[in-house]
Amino acid sequence: MNMINVSISHFSSAMGYCQFTAVNRYHLRLKPRLMPHTLAGRALHERLEAEDKLIPREEATKEQLADPFFDLDFTREGVTVSFDRINGNHFRYLGRTDKVIRHQGVIYIIDDKVTSKPASGLYHDRLLQLAAYCEAFIRSYSRMIAFNKVVFNVVHRRPDGGVIQENKVDYTPEVNAILVRDLNTFEGIINKTTQPDHHNNPKKCAPCGFFDQCKWRIESPPLPPGVAVMNNSNSS
Ligand code: SF4
């Protein structure tokens, strides 16, 4: 049995975006190219972290941590979480939450995403990422920090930090069941007992960081002759 460390964000993109990212990353040891949306996300996180450091804080006492109705505001990017599973190998899922607060007995796990427009719903990779953070928070901290329930909140922001939309979801047994189902599939792919499914969508491959190296990429079909391409950079 091998010990396999898995970043929660890599797990969620494998099961919510493309299962072949798991093959590329864990079997073939490929490294994805940094894409503009990844760089924009990093820049936003650095800006929010710098702003968060300006908030005056005092360290909470043991008694305050044990009182679910004492509100807490954890340092941004300061709460690391993990959980382990044995499934053929020993899988350890690890992550660092963007932001955690406790308000009126509820733990809110907040994740910030850069976007240019509101999303029509909660994408599956985001649901999985936040569900995994909730599970990992419960397993990492429930002996030390009291709470009555855990809620996750995906905050869609413009690159300047302005909030466009929030998706708040309770971490319920139903969400946990989706997480466990996808953890089993992911681990099967890593253990080579499950064949990955292909999304068959060239629009997913085009912005993927593995595109240049991926054996399973699908390229968009060429435009028919005579079809002009608009250059958006010239439009007003
Ligand atoms: S290029 Fe396409 S098939 Fe390959 S990992 Fe990326 S999204 Fe998946």
Task: Note the pLDDT tens digit of each residue in 201-224.
Answer: 999 999 899 999 999 999 877 666
16-45 pLDDT, tens digit each: 999 999 999 999 999 999 877 788 888 888
**Considering the entire predicted model, what is its pTM?**
0.86
By most ligand atoms within 8 Å of CB, the mutation choice from 33, 195, 204 for ligand 1 is 204
Domain boundaries, the chain: 3-217
Q: Is the CB of 21 under 6 A from ligand 1?
A: yes
Burial 105-134 (b: 16+ CB within 10 A, else e): eebbbbbbbbbeeeeeeebebbbbbbbbbb
| pLDDT over 90, % of the chain | 64
Q: Is the CB of 108 under 6 A from ligand 1?
A: no
Q: Which atom of ligand 1 is nearest to the CA of 215?
A: 4
Give the pLDDT of residue 55.
86
Q: Is the CB of 18 under 6 A from ligand 1?
A: yes
Cβ-contact 82, 136 below 8 angstroms: yes
Q: Which CATH class is domain 3-217?
A: alpha beta
71-98 pLDDT, tens digit each: 999 988 889 999 999 999 999 999 999 9
Contacts of 175 (CB under 8 A, 6+ apart): 127, 131, 134, 169
| Residue 232 pLDDT greater than 50, yes or no | no
